[in-house]
């Protein structure tokens, strides 16, 4: 067994924050929060019912807008 070398440190672990505490969430997380399919979420994004933000190549949805959408009534079908 080799002695522990101080120069070989592990990289810091990635912090895991619950989706409810984030400002922006991924499409998958947003679909889970709304309890709909990812295809349904894509439909809402395409029809501008939900705004998105792009950071690099990632499409992110503000949690505040998800909550605002969830509070309203939506009698239309999401996916035809």
Residue 80 has pLDDT above 60, yes or no: no
Would you state the pLDDT for residue 29? 93
Residue 58 forms part of a structural domain: yes
| Domain membership flag for residue 59 | yes
For residue 3, what pLDDT is reported?
A: 60
The answer to whether residue 9 is domain-embedded is no
C-alpha to C-alpha distance for 61 and 8, rounded to whole angstroms? 38
What are the E-state strand segments in 1-80?
24-26, 53-55, 58-62
Domain that holds residue 26: 22-71
First-to-last C-alpha distance (Å) of the chain: 62
Q: What is the pLDDT of residues 6-54, one digit of tens each?
A: 567 777 777 788 766 889 999 999 999 999 999 999 999 999 999 999 9
Sign of CA dihedral 38, 42, 48, 52: positive
Is the pTM value of this prediction over 0.75?
no
Q: What is the CATH number of the domain that holds 58?
A: 1.10.10
């Amino acid at each position: 067994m080799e002695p522990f070398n101080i120069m070989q440190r592990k990289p810091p672990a990635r912090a895991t924050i619950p989706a409810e505490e984030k400002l922006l969430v991924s499409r998958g997380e947003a679909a889970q929060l709304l309890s709909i399919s990812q295809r349904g979420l894509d439909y809402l994004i395409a029809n501008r019912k939900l705004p998105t933000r792009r950071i690099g190549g990632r499409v992110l949805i503000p949690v505040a807008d998800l909550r605002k959408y969830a509070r309203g009534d939506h009698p239309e079908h999401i996916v035809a």
